[in-house]
Chain A
Amino acid sequence: MTTPKSVQPAQSVTAESAVDTEPPASVDAAIQGALGRRLRESYEEVVREKVPDKFLHLLDQLKKSETSGKGG
């Protein structure tokens, strides 16, 4: 399984609204599209931030503690 590190292509608004169980739209499509773009921009800005090393160190530690615990 591969999970890309970068942002996945954002789901387009048309794809979302094409879902058969579309909720009653109370916001018009153009506005909804604009809203969706802002939301993704704002979110992806965080996704694109470099992942701090502390997270990778944490995973290393978890791995190590497991191997040392399993000995014998």
Chain B
Amino acid sequence: MAAPDFEEALVGAISHLRAFARSFANDPARADDLVQETLVKAWNSRDSFTPGTNFRAWLFTILRNVYFSQHRKLRREVDDPEDHYQNSLAVQPEQYGHLDLADFRSALSTLPSDQREALVLVGAEGFSYEEAAEICGCAVGTIKSRVNRARNRLVELLGDEDLKSGTHSTVPSQIAGLVKDSARG
């Protein structure tokens, strides 16, 4: 890819890299460090990107590699606090029917990181199971089962009634249909 095109695509993907990085590092500053290193790596290895393939998937793969190489180093050196944060949050929403994003996020943060990652890639970024499997370097079936386990666990934590009656309900489609019909009639 020509350098200007590559740069433009890279700039456009930064916001997504930042969001994806937060699914690894809950601390925003650390997540941004990850993104910075990813940008340097991506820039230096831009010849290895195959035009026509998914650029964002390529970047996400790099970010993962950066994260895991740092993580391995960290684990050797210190007792990584991130291993604790995942399991330390017990989420029990007390106010039924008032489930906000903060509750959702804490629930998400208690998931095992591989499940959270799979769920984010498929559910938030909209990658196919196949693409997600390629990014994570695992089998498609593994991604599917991680996504399923993540969903089940979130429902368990958040309560299905709360999820359904959430604060951001939209007009049910049947009602929208009725309104349209009566306008026409």
Residues on A lying within 8 angstroms of B by beta carbon are: 1-5, 8, 10-11, 16, 19, 21, 23-24, 26-28, 30-32, 34-49, 51-52, 54-56, 58-59, 62-63
- Given A3-B13, A4-B12, A58-B39: A30 in contact with B164 (beta carbons within 8 A): yes
Contact partners of B123 in chain A: CB under 8 A: 16, 35-36, 39-40
- Given A38-B163, A59-B39, A59-B43: A47 in contact with B15 (beta carbons within 8 A): yes
Contact partners of B15 in chain A: CB under 8 A: 5, 46-49, 51
Please report the C-alpha to C-alpha distance between residue A55 and residue B12 in the assembled complex, in whole angstroms. Answer: 11
Q: Chain B: which residue is nearest A13 at the CB level?
A: B123
Q: How many residues of B contact A (CB 8 A)?
A: 54
Contact partners of A63 in chain B: CB under 8 A: 3, 7
Contact check, B163 vs A35: say whether CB atoms are below 8 A apart: yes
- Given A31-B164, A46-B22: A3 in contact with B152 (beta carbons within 8 A): no
Contact partners of B122 in chain A: CB under 8 A: 16
Contact check, B148 vs A2: say whether CB atoms are below 8 A apart: no
Q: Chain A interface mostly helix, strand, loop or mixed?
A: helix
Contact check, B126 vs A8: say whether CB atoms are below 8 A apart: yes
Known: A1-B51, A27-B151. 17 other contacts (CB 8 A): A1-B8, A2-B9, A11-B126, A23-B145, A23-B147, A31-B163, A32-B151, A35-B154, A35-B163, A38-B104, A38-B163, A46-B18, A47-B19, A55-B36, A55-B39, A58-B40, A59-B10
Give residues of chain B (1-45) contacting chain A, Cβ–Cβ below 8 Å. 1, 3, 5, 7-16, 18-19, 22, 32, 35-36, 39-40, 43-44
Contact check, A41 vs B168: say whether CB atoms are below 8 A apart: yes
B40 to chain A, nearest CB (A): 7
Give 1 or 0 for each of B38-82: 1 = CB within 8 Å of chain A CB.
Answer: 011001100000010001100000000000000000000000000
Q: Chain B interface mostly helix, strand, loop or mixed?
A: helix
Contact partners of B39 in chain A: CB under 8 A: 55, 58-59, 62
| Across the A-B interface, the 9 shortest Cβ-Cβ residue pairs | A3-B12, A43-B124, A11-B126, A46-B19, A23-B144, A34-B163, A38-B104, A39-B123, A47-B19
Q: Is the C-beta of B136 less than 8 angstroms from some C-beta in chain A?
A: no
Contact check, A39 vs B7: say whether CB atoms are below 8 A apart: no
Q: Chain A: which residue is nearest B12 at the CB level?
A: A3
Contact partners of A59 in chain B: CB under 8 A: 7, 10-11, 39, 43
